[in-house]
Amino acid sequence: MAEALHELSVPEAGALLRSGDLTSLELTRHALDRVARLDPALHAFILVTEETALERAAAADRELRDGLDRGPMHGIPYALKDIFDAEGVPTTNASRLCAGEVARADSTVERRLRAGGAVGLGKLTTFEFAVGGPSFDLPFPPARNPWSEDHVPSGSSSGSGAAVAAGLVRVTVGSDTSGSTRGPAFHCGAVGLKPTYGLVSGHGAHTLSHTLDHFGPLTWTVADAAAALRVIAGHDAADARTTEGRIPDYLGELDHGVAGLRVAHAPDWYAADPLTLPDITTGIRRALGVLDGLGAQVEEVTLPPYDLFNACGRLVFAAEAFATHENQLRNRPRLFGRYTYQRVMPGAGVTAADLLRAHHVRRSLRRRLDESVFDRYDVLVTVCGQSTAARWSDFPEDWPPPGLANDMRTIPFSVTGHPALSLPIGFAADGLPIGLQIVGRAFDEATVFRVAAALEAELGQRHRRPPEPPTTEMGS
């Protein structure tokens, strides 16, 4: 086969699996070999489940030969951020507090992927409890950015971003509370989707902030994300946050183009900010030109102040994250990593009145965004992050790192629950990836994917991978 197996998209690999020109065992062994060879330097995986992966790949091959087709992920390898339960496998949350814990049942995400015939390779590195930061005081080393050993992959789905960018696996599932999927996708040059709140079940995934947590795919291409979402989305009786409704054929709608779509552009959050890298502003402008050239109608809009979204989201996050971890914070505080403790403990000072006011503001912001943007436009295009990946040296002993607190512009759509996708659009002058953010109406991921696919075809540079790391570990 002329193209390396890890460069096949999910639809491409799926077509070969169904024709008999490729087997899931071949695809899985290729992925496991890359993990064994490259991951000692990247630390993207916490655990590799090689034996189980090969068994499931063999089962997928038998089913396909027998004419049983379980859907777009059948026979395709994937990996999970290590906050999702998989029966019989440890869920570490990258924390000492979870030492020795083995999941008794599958999370809904894992169950649906298995039911769809997909092949799990293992668990991916995360910031502790999907919060904290790139820490060296945890049981597992932090993941590395494949584009440069001097830079972090962002977080908290750090292992997902690193694994996808390095070609260890094309499909991962992470969590996104304020940008934890979109951030690593942005800084590693991958595609990261935060679906509409309630589209993907969080049952069996560790809770951080109950009303801000979203769960979705981080992948190499838009088509990969569309395939994965088709499998994991949908109502779940075990998670009251999920909603009823038909799940579209996201893959089938990717090639519908953008002609006639109305695209809102919101430069007020970034264009005049001196913290925004000029390469990012230029890249977004170029992307908007592509959409205009393809027949979309692009118009500038003004959004509510970013700082209002940020303050609202941070207050809700602080209160809910503290509530989630309160018992352990009071009884076993020294087992937390330093960053995690420093980020979660301030929630102890949030009052009930504070939280009620924050939720009132949240409802108002959601309504204002719908009225000012989504009542008139199909998607919103804006900034995702303001700079390329931070250096390890930017992170001191204590949180927050100076100058990094406002790098990402992702929390507004966690606050409102709208679907938001981080799409790579090229590289900055320093050689590191840059991207933009595409936001859609609630439960209209199909249109977000359509716009992203159109841009990816022109700007995505999906042929370009980071240099393979040496087989020895990168320095810490």
The burial of 30, by beta-carbon neighbours within 10 Å (0-12 exposed, 13-18 middle, 19 or more buried), is given as middle
End-to-end CA distance of the chain: 38
Amino acid 36 reads A
Q: Which residue has the tokens 């959050």?
A: 269
CA distance 461 to 463: 5
Element housing 161 (H / E):
helix 158-165
Tokens, residue 243: 């909603």
CB contact at 8 A, 266 and 303? yes
At residue 428, the 3 state secondary structure works out as coil
Catalytic residue among 148, 156, 157, 175: 156
Cβ pair 221, 191 in contact under 8 A:
yes
* Per-residue burial over 200-218, b = 16 or more CB atoms within 10 Å of its CB, e = otherwise: bbbbbbbbbbebbbbbbbb
Q: How many whole angstroms from its chain centre is CA 149?
A: 21
Q: Is 414 a catalytic residue?
A: no
Q: Rounded to 5 degrees, what are φ and ψ at 298?
A: -105, 125
Q: In this structure, are residues 114 and 108 in contact, taking their beta carbons and an 8 Å threshold?
A: no
Asked about 156 being catalytic, the answer comes back as yes
Q: Locate 62 and state its tokens.
A: 């038998």
- CA distances for 155 relative to 134, 183, 212, 324, 433, angstroms: 8, 6, 16, 20, 15
Does the annotation mark 180 as catalytic?
A: yes
Catalytic residue among 95, 135, 175, 180: 180
Catalytic residues, by residue number, are 81, 156, 180
